[in-house]
């Protein structure tokens, strides 16, 4: 028998693809930012699949927030290192 429910990976990709028309009208900086967030979702697909959810957006948004937090943490470390080097 076939699957009755699409895999988590397919659900995520379908949701991310639904953003293509939105992405098309963004400026180039925002397109890069959205691509980074979308890649953050893809990088955390295994974790998102562990969260049973009817709505794919909840784990996707958490993944995007984690991607942002990761970047902020990297920048904080760089700033701290620069301050130490003064």
The 3-state DSSP class for residue 85 equals: coil
Which residues lie closer than 8 Å to 57 by C-beta, 6 or more apart? 15
- Given CA atoms 13, 51, 72, 75 in this order, what sign does their dihedral have? negative
Nearest to 47 by CA among 19, 33, 67: 67
Give the pLDDT confidence score for residue 50 in this predicted structure: 83
Pairwise CA distance, residues 8 & 56, whole Å: 8
pLDDT by 10-residue block (mean), the chain, 86 residues: 75 94 97 96 89 83 96 97 89
Give the pLDDT confidence score for residue 2 in this predicted structure: 63
């Amino acid at each position: 028998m076939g699957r009755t429910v699409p895999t988590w990976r397919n659900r995520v990709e379908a949701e991310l693809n639904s953003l293509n028309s939105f992405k098309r009208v963004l400026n180039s900086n925002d397109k890069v930012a959205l691509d980074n967030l979308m890649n953050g979702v893809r990088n955390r697909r295994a974790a998102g699949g562990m969260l049973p959810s009817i709505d794919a957006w909840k784990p996707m948004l958490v993944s995007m927030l984690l991607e942002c937090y990761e970047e902020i943490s990297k920048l904080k470390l760089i700033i701290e290192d620069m301050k130490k080097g003064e």
